[in-house]
Amino acid sequence: MSENNEKKVHFSDYLYILYKWKVLIITVLIIFTGFAVALAFLLPVTYRAVAVVSIPPESNLGLSGLTGLLGGGKSSQSLGAKLFGTSSSSEDMLLGLLNSRSALTNVINKYNLIDYYEIEDNNLDKTIKAFKNDILFEPNEFQFIEISVINKNAKKAAEMANYFVHLVDSLNIYVNVEAARNNRIFVEQRYNKNLADLKEAEDSLYKFQKKYGIFAVPEQLEISVKAAASLEAQLMEKEIESFLLKQQYGATSPQYMGMQTQMNLLKDKVNELKNNSSLSSSSNVLFPFKNVPDMMIKYLRFYRQLEIQSKILEVILPMYEQAKVEEQKSIPSLLFIDKAVPPQVKYEPKRVFIVAAISMVTLFLLIVFTFRAEYVSNLNVPNNQLVDGEKKVYLKFKKIFGIKN
């Protein structure tokens, strides 16, 4: 039975191997580090300019005045938003405009970015795709919108960021005006219908009043009742006087006959108020009780319709006037919190990071290489041509860099 004595390997052995191959490691590391430095300085320098903007809460779609007409507080804003379809987020509106094809195309054409990105076939879609990699629109911690543009020219990067603000402000004004115009058309149609309905209600009430002589049913009814009560009281008084005259002078006496004439006249008036369809007199205050139910219901319907249309007019007329004002508004809708200025510090490339990364990767590969080279060069396997060929290569490296066994 044979025993294989294995030599115990210590950490110092690994350090010794690295020390043996130090010339190779240092030489290759210097070469690749120099290459990394050259590469880092050959990469184009880019700058990032940032503009910060915000949308005032009251400028949401340019409909603050319209929603304000509906009352104050959150409830009125909610009602106005539901009525006119306004968005609850101005931030989403702004980000949508910034990322719109119209805005991107306008910037690309203004600053000739097709040539900047070297798009040979002048393909706009390819240019937009490349441009999107150099722009960023996002809210910061204060809920302001940051518009970032990356470009090789610091001044041009700032100009493009500020132009984005100007451009989106123009688009936002256009959207506001279009929304206000559509709302004005809607309110105007409702306003015109209200005027037509109001005129119809007024004409209907006018014809009714002219036909029946009715102007205020409750008041006129009260007068008619009082007049009838007064006639009834007079008639009762005359009946008593007539009875007394008959007892005193007889049924054929002139006094009694005259009293009978007065009583008959009073009876006719009371009967006319209670039963006739129209009054025989030209009075425009009293009206017969027989027609009270029909006239009352007709009058109330006409009067109610007139009141409804009048109340609608009180609400819709200010809305219509405000809608016309909103349609003409073209004031800036964005607040410039920070205007973009040409940055003085480059954004990319991160040269230190590039050099450090390449150097670390190179060093790691060199360590792996040296351990493998040391193992294979000391290995005696003549029948394995692959390992034997690899051994010759590593021995050649040893000879070149003067590495001794």
Amino acid at 186: F
Under-50 pLDDT residues of the chain: 1-5, 60-88, 279-285, 383-386
Angle 311-315-318 (CA atoms, 0-180°, nearest 5)?
140
* The pLDDT of residue 278: 53
Cβ neighbours of residue 74 closer than 8 Å, sequence gap 6 or more = none
Looking at residue 73, what is its pLDDT?
41
Domain locations along the chain = 17-42+351-395, 47-193+330-338, 196-327
Provide the token pair at 225: 């009742």
Q: What is the DSSP letter of 62?
A: G
pLDDT of residue 89: 66
Q: Are 245 and 255 in contact (CB under 8 A)?
A: yes
Residue 143 CA: distances (Å) to CA of 90, 103, 117 = 11, 22, 32
Q: Residue 336: enclosing H or E segment and its boundaries?
A: strand 335-338
Cα 220–chain centre separation: 56
Ramachandran angles phi, psi of 3, nearest 5° = -115, 135
Q: Where are the beta strands (DSSP E) in 78-232?
A: 135-139, 145-151
pLDDT of residue 65: 42
Grouping H, G, I as helix, E, B as strand and the rest as coil, residue 6 is coil
pLDDT digits (tens, 9 = 90+) for 6-52: 556 677 777 877 777 788 888 888 888 888 888 877 777 888 999 99
Query: Phi first, then psi: what are they for 234, rounded to 5°?
Result: -65, -40
Q: Report the CATH architecture of 47-193+330-338.
A: 2-Layer Sandwich (3.30)
User: Phi-psi region for residue 259, left (φ > 0), alpha (ψ -120 to 50) or beta?
Assistant: alpha
Residue 295 and residue 274 in contact, taking contact as beta carbons nearer than 8 Å: no
Cα four-point dihedral sign 382, 387, 393, 399? negative
In whole angstroms, what is the distance from residue 290 CA to residue 292 CA?
6
Q: Output the pLDDT for position 61.
A: 41
The whole-model pTM stands at 0.53
- Direct distance between the N- and C-terminal alpha carbons of the chain, in angstroms, rounded to an integer: 33
pLDDT at residue 247, rounded to an integer: 77
List beta partners, residue 138. Answer: 146
Radius of gyration for the alpha carbons in the chain, expressed in angstroms and rounded: 51
